[in-house]
Amino acid sequence: PTGSPRLTVIGTGYLGATHAICMAVLGFEVVGVDVDQSKIDKLSSGEVPFFEPGLPELLAKALESGRLRFTTSFQEAGAFGDVHFVCVGTPQQPGSDAADLTYVEAAVRGLAPYLDRRALVVGKSTVPVGTAKRLTGILHDLAPAGTDVELAWNPEFLREGFAVDDTMRPDRLVFGVASDWAEERLRAAFKPVLDLGTPVVRTDLATSELVKVAANSFLATKISYINAMAEVCEAVGADIKDLADSLALDDRIGGKFLKPGLGFGGGCLPKDIRAFAHRAEEIGVGQAVSFLRHVDDINRRRRARTVDLVREVLGGQISGKRIAAWGAAFKPNSDDIRDAPALDVARTMHGLGGHVRVYDPAALDNARRSFPELRYGESALDVARDADVVVLLTEWADFREIEPDALARVVQHKRIVDGRHALDATQWRAAGWEYRALGRS
């Protein structure tokens, strides 16, 4: 677009790289900034440093257009950009539930000294409510242009595996702003997306920070709700799958994020609900969201109960048994193993003396690097060789496509524990398998 703002994206991790690439493809001039030279080198040479369908092709396209480049220099970013997106991570602090704001602060402090004309800094990272206000003060203090530099917040809702689509065609855009000028700048920086009719919510900074954690808390709560119902089903021999299907048909409830199983993991949901609960306590409204502690507890219990079910299927003993673990990523179509329920279960079974072998279609390298003590194999059938039980932990389509008879030829015992309700129980039982899943008789 002509006359459109020049964009920088600070932090070229999952969120930042996706945002920078997509914005360049949409026609903006973009500079991506990161303190990690190896990331910058990779991206500059056309390599996406993580797994995300469709993104490598778009990176090639963006680099070819000449509209996208990467640098480690804040000075270059400050001189170039009109709108600066802050996309760095806010991980959970070690030994605490609070979010670690080191990177967000470092990004703002690194950039600010080079902001010598009117500019907008836009936070996209997930932060505790109140952070934007504090960062505004830092910006005004450190930027040569002073209060001519404004801060806005624009939370990001993208899902791994759908990052491109979620960026190009989001459900909504939330603009947390302190002035009309900031809103106008944001509208210009998202013009191609807005032209698709994307709804915008304009609000204040605090509300925009809260929208993100409120959304993720809701999603986590929905998953833990159905998993709590699964626990009840387990106690009475009822069927959680039929129960969930029945609830899903009520369109006030809906079927999304209502899939029972091993529960949620990943780099967002678990840490976001903890950081939110922690922040709420700090500001004196801990009681209002104390249910999030239960949401977390229910979710963690899924992992323990899955191990219990495997033990039961193995006749009370995990030690010495050969166990095929299907899946390592926290969800399918991802190589992300952060807080992955699958690896948690695999490691627990290993710790109990089980001979666990893990296979995942995309996350194997990451898993190997982080957990060298586990054993790995090159395919779903490979790890199932001579197994006493096969345990499905991440619902990759690859696993669903495996024929019960083909698997039967390699295993020692025809036992399968479906931790994600991904398989057709009737089909597996008809083929002579002992099929077990939590919350199903």
| Annotation: binding site for substrate | 157-160, 212, 257-261, 265, 331
Q: Check 22, 87, 233, 268 and give the catalytic one.
A: 268
Q: Minimum CB separation from ligand UDX for residue 258, in Å?
A: 5
By CB under 6 A, the residues from 78 to 117 that bind ligand UDX are none
Alpha-carbon distances of 134 from 182, 205, 206, rounded to whole Å: 17, 11, 11
Among 69, 331, 357, 436, binds ligand UDX (CB under 6 A): 331
Q: Is 149 exposed, middle or buried (CB count within 10 Å of its CB: 0-12, 13-18, 19+)?
A: buried
Cβ pair 384, 407 in contact under 8 A: yes
Q: Is 399 in the site for ligand UDX (CB under 6 A)?
A: no
Strand order in the sheet with 389-392: 375-376, 355-359, 322-326, 389-392, 415-418, 434-436
Residue 233 annotated to the active site: no
Compute the distance between CA of residue 352 and CA of residue 350 in angstroms, rounded to an integer. Answer: 5
Number of residues written out for the chain: 441
Q: Minimum CB separation from ligand UDX for residue 328, in Å?
A: 12
Q: Is 313 in the site for ligand UDX (CB under 6 A)?
A: no
Question: Per-residue x/- mask for ligand UDX, residues 172 to 211, rule CB under 6 A?
Answer: ----------------------------------------
Question: Per-residue x/- mask for ligand UDX, residues 255 to 284, rule CB under 6 A?
Answer: --xxx-x-xxxx-xx---------------
Q: Is 223 in the site for ligand UDX (CB under 6 A)?
A: yes
Q: Minimum CB separation from ligand UDX for residue 416, in Å?
A: 19
Compute the distance between CA of residue 38 and CA of residue 28 in angstroms, rounded to an integer. Answer: 24
Alpha-carbon distances of 251 from 186, 228, 239, rounded to whole Å: 34, 21, 21
Cβ pair 408, 432 in contact under 8 A: yes
Q: CB under 6 A: which stretch of 5-13, 43-51, 106-114, 150-158 binds ligand UDX?
A: 150-158
Q: State which residue, 160 or 388, has the beta carbon closest to ligand UDX.
A: 160
Q: Which residues contact 320 (CB under 8 A, 6 or more apart)?
A: 353, 354, 355
Nearest CA among 391, 335, 339, 396 for reference residue 368? 335
Q: CB under 6 A: which stretch of 1-9, 69-77, 156-164, 177-185 binds ligand UDX?
A: 156-164
Give catalytic residues, as residue numbers: 268
Residues that bind ligand UDX (CB under 6 A): 156-160, 216, 219, 223, 257-259, 261, 263-266, 268-269, 330-331
